[in-house]
Structure 1
Amino acid sequence: MSIAERLNQIRSRITDAAVKAGRDPQTVRLVAVSKTRPPEDLLAAYRAGQVVFGENYVQELTAKTAAITEPLEWHFIGHLQSNKAKYLAGLVTLIHSVDRLSLAEEISRQWGRLGRSCDVLVQVNIAGEATKSGTTEAGALHLVRAIAQLPNVRVRGLMTMPPLFDDPEGARPYFAELKRLSELIAAAAIPGVEMAELSMGMSGDFEAAIQEGATLVRVGTAIFGKR
């Protein structure tokens, strides 16, 4: 099956999941997770109508932005070291994985040099897994308040990676909890902060994520096939 055919299948499943949840399918965007994929795979997806691509590694993202001239929208979705933030400045539309104030400060500094602002999502480790990045659920509101003070960063929502389950229903409570947390933060009415985006759900569980409020689903294998 081609990348275009797989994309059409995913889009159809996104629409069905949104409709089932009583949501407008237009409120869910597909982020094609393109790590380790060659530029020609990304271009095949782009020609099939995919615009947003998510990369996990800074070096790979910068190489691809240099190689691809088409107007792709780049998101950074992986763990980001503060000393690498400078390489992303001006290249990415959204960083999904801000999990600490020191990183947000460096992002603000680097985008500030360009006279621009960077949209970010705060990554929350809802399950409290030691192997995953993310602020704690209890610390999320405090972190959002602190980031909101920075001049060149705008908090646009939250991101999470739940534990892996064979059954996508296993992840549903974590998606529901991130939605609840976003509503709590929205209710705090922090100046400059929007809870417009919820980045959650991957190839195995994105339908459950959509039903719980995801606005960005990160799908790689189901589009590009196994690595």
Structure 2
Amino acid sequence: MNRSLREAADEVERRIAYACARSGRRREEVNVIAVTKYVSLERTIEAIEAGYPNVGENRWQDAKEKWEALQGRPDVVWHFIGHLQTNKVKDVLGRFSTVHSLDRWSLAEELQKKAKRLGIVVPCFVQLNVSGEQTKYGLAPGELRSFLSKLTACDAIDVVGLMTMAPHEEDPERTRPVFKALRELRDEANAKGSYGKPIEHLSMGMSNDFEIAVEEGATWIRLGSTLVGK
């Protein structure tokens, strides 16, 4: 591990710790995904050995070389964090432990079909477009309850959390309403029993705004440039 990544990791840990302290949370409640889509295999290994075994990639084509090189390592956990096309489900299942971007019924059907064929259950985050930006994927918040109800019929999908992406803001504080809204949507779904079992996790916060996300309850944050670089 070179000095620059060590320094970046130390800084990330300091910032997470302060965000946890401000919001009365424990550091152990926050999991970090090292987003490695723009960095080399060598840099990815540095991140893993720095204590970040959860690796996030957006596309199988970009992850393929790294995955094949690292597939023998039991300490590496792969997360699919990008928009997932239905025709790419076959490439993702069995390689990535968790899908963070379940955003439509056609994708749920394909995940269910392929997972049943493989004899596995896929942990998934339902992606919501809380900000309403046209450039972002995800269900509208008002669609969540009915979508979760339909997913109860998919025994090869396990909804473990909700995911969102906030707009990129010069002032990260302006992202707070987005993260707060996702937490409230999860809590409301749990209070109403929309899914049949509690939904625990919130996947939200990236390099520009992760401290605000942590303060608002993020359990998974996705860090690229601020941790592994570009």
**TM-score, normalized by length of structure 2?**
0.94
Deviation at 1:64, TM superposition (A): 1.7
In structure 2, what is the equivalent of residue 179 of structure 1? 183
Aligned-pair identity (%): 39
In structure 2, what is the equivalent of residue 36 of structure 1? 38
Is 1:218 the equivalent of 2:222? yes
Deviation at 1:163, TM superposition (A): 1.1
8 Å Cα contact 2:126/2:159 also seen in 1: yes
CA RMSD between the two structures: 1.3
8 Å Cα contact 2:189/2:195 also seen in 1: no
In structure 2, what is the equivalent of residue 61 of structure 1? 63
Q: Alignment partner for residue 73 of structure 2, among 70, 76, 86?
A: 70
> 1:189-208 alignment to 2 at 5 Å?
189-190=193-194, 192-208=196-212
Q: Separation in 1 of the partners of 2:92 and 2:221?
A: 21
Deviation at 1:191, TM superposition (A): 5.1
Is 1:154 the equivalent of 2:158? yes
8 Å Cα contact 2:148/2:195 also seen in 1: no
Letter paired with 2:5: I
8 Å Cα contact 1:85/1:107 also seen in 2: yes
Deviation digits for residues 160-198 of structure 1, max 9, x if unmatched? 011111000010010000000001111122455432110
Aligned residue pair count: 226
* Unaligned 5+ runs, structure 1: none
Aligned to 2:165, the other structure's residue is in SS state coil
Aligned to 1:222, the other structure's residue is in SS state coil
Q: Separation in 2 of the partners of 1:93 and 1:103?
A: 16
Letter paired with 2:123: D
* Unaligned 5+ runs, structure 2: none
Deviation digits for residues 183-222 of structure 1, max 9, x if unmatched? 1111122455432110111111100000001000111000
In structure 2, what is the equivalent of residue 119 of structure 1? 123
Letter paired with 1:39: L
8 Å Cα contact 2:145/2:194 also seen in 1: no
> 1:83-94 alignment to 2 at 5 Å?
83-94=87-98
Deviation digits for residues 11-54 of structure 1, max 9, x if unmatched? 22112111210011100001111112111111011111111011
Q: Separation in 2 of the partners of 1:56 and 1:103?
A: 16
8 Å Cα contact 2:35/2:222 also seen in 1: yes
In structure 1, what is the equivalent of residue 29 of structure 2? 27
Deviation digits for residues 86-138 of structure 1, max 9, x if unmatched? 11111111111110011011111111112110000000000111111000010
**TM-score, normalized by length of structure 1?**
0.95
Q: Separation in 2 of the partners of 1:193 and 1:60?
A: 35
